[in-house]
Amino acid sequence: MTLITKRDLKKKLRLEALARRDALDEIWRIEASLNLAQQADVLAPGTGGVVSGFWPMRSEVDTRPLMAALRDRGARLCLPAILDRTTIIFREMVRGAPMLDMGFGTQGPGSEAQELTPDLMLVPLAAFDARGHRIGYGAGYYDRAIARIHAAGRSPRLVGIAFDVQEVAEVPEEPHDVIIPEILTESGLRRFTPG
Is the residue at 1 inside a domain? no
H/E element holding 124? strand 120-124
Residue 107 is predicted with a pLDDT of 79
pTM across the whole model: 0.92
Query: Which is more confident, 7 or 68?
Result: 68
* Total structural domains within the chain: 1
Residue 163 DSSP class: -
Determine how β-strand 76-82 pairs with β-strand 50-52: parallel
CB 17 within 8 A of CB 139: no
The domain spanning residue 14 has which CATH number?
Answer: 3.40.50.10420
- For residue 184, the tally of other CB atoms under 10 A from its CB is 21
Q: Which domain holds residue 123?
A: 6-191
Is the residue at 127 inside a domain? yes
Residue 2 is predicted with a pLDDT of 55
For 94-118, write each residue's pLDDT tens digit.
888 878 777 767 778 888 999 999 9
For 130-159, write each residue's pLDDT tens digit.
999 999 987 888 999 999 999 999 999 999
The Cα–Cα gap between 61 and 161 comes to 7
Residue 4 is predicted with a pLDDT of 76
For 52-79, write each residue's pLDDT tens digit.
999 898 999 999 999 999 999 999 999 9
- Tally helices (H) and strands (E) across the chain: 5, 11
Radius of gyration for the alpha carbons in the chain, expressed in angstroms and rounded? 16
Residue 194 is predicted with a pLDDT of 58
Query: Does the structure show a pLDDT above 90 at 83?
Result: no
- For residue 120, the tally of other CB atoms under 10 A from its CB is 19
Helix residue spans in 24-169 (DSSP H): 26-36, 40-43, 64-72, 141-151
